[in-house]
Structure 1
C-alpha cells in the first residue's frame, strides 16, 4: 500500500509539473507582441541515392540559391503571423544559421544548450523584439538509415522498383527576445504518410530522375508547394496562429 501511495504521489507531482510547464509556455507565447523571422534552409539541394543497390553512394548537392526559398518562407510566415503579431523585418547572417547541422530538436540533444541561442543574441538586428522565429533545416532517415536533410531529391532503389521523393524538411523555434531561451520548437510533420517510402517531414513523390535539379522549375515549384502547405500546419500546431 505504501508503494502504491508513493507511486501515486510521484505521478501527481509529475502531472502538476507538466501542467505548470505548459502553462508557462502558453503564457510566454501569449505575451509576445513583436517578432522577427529568420529562415536558413534553402541555399542548396541534396541529391541522395539509397537502397539495396546504392549502399556505397554518397550524397551530392547543388546550389539553389536562385530559387529564393528563404525569402518565400519569410514572406509566407509573415503573412500567416501578422494577424496576431507585429512582424518586423530583421537582418542576419544566413550562412551562420545554415551552418548549424546538429538539430537540438532530436531527443538525443534535449539536454544540450540550443545552438541557435547565441546566434540570435549576436547575429540578428534589431535586438529587443519580444521573440524571434527561427526556421532551419531538419533531418530524417531514408530507407536503410541514410540521413537526408533540408531541401532535397532522394532516390530509393530496391531490387524490384525505384522510388523518388522530393523533400523540404525544416524545424521552427520560437526564441525569447530578452532571455534568448527557446520557448517552443517543432519539426514540420509529414503532409502525407501513405507512400511506400516515408520521411519524417514534408515530402512527396517525384517521377523524374536527378537531371538538372537546380534549374528545374518543376522541382522548384514542388518544393515551394511543400513549404506553402506545411508551414500553416506547423505554426498552427505550435499555437502561433489564432484558431489552431
Structure 2
C-alpha cells in the first residue's frame, strides 16, 4: 500500500494523526520533516508563496522520503486540484467550503467519474505510464483524500450535510477565519470553541483542526477530532532560535 493510501485509510478510520503546515516552498523542508515521526504534512498553498513548480518539487521530495503530503489549495478551482493530484499529492485541503453543492463538486473533481478529474497515465500519480491506465484509475480513489475546511458561518450550519457527502473524507475546522466570520477577535473565544466542537461532532467524515503548538490536543479528541495540524516549519525555526538565544552566557 502506498503512503498516500495508508494515510487515507488511517484518516477515514479516524486514527489519531498529527501533522504540520509547510510555509517554505523548498523540497529540503519536506525531506527533513519527512524523516520525523509526523504522520503527514500540508503545503500551505493558500497563504504561502507556492507555485506549481515548487509544489511539484516538494511532492517529489515527499515521494523520496515516503511521507504523505496534502496541499491546502488557494480555492476550489478543479484545474489546480487536478494538477496537484497528478503531481502525487495525498489530497487537498480546500478552504471556505460552505455548502453541500460545493462539496459535491469538489468530490467529483477528485475522482475519475463523468464530469470529474481528467485522467492521464503519464503523470507521477500514474507512474509516468508504467502503470496500466485501468490500474491507475482503479487505485486512484484509495490514494487521494478530500478535506473540506469549515471556517464560515454557513459552513458550520451545513457541516453535518457536508460531512455526509460521498467523497468527503474529513472536515477541518479553521478557527481563525471562523473567529472573523462571527465578528469576534479572540481565537480562543468560548463561542468559537463551541462552534468548533459542533463541527468536530459531525457524522460521516473524520474531523480535525489546527491547534497551537502548546495547546493540549486531548480535549479536542474528546469532542471528536482525530487529526491535528500544529505549527509549521516557520514556528519550528522560531522556537529553536529562541531556545538557542536563551543559552547565550551572561
TM-score between both structures, scaled by the size of structure 2: 0.27
The structure where strand makes up a greater share of residues is 1
| TM-score in terms of structure 1 length | 0.28
Higher fraction of helix: 2
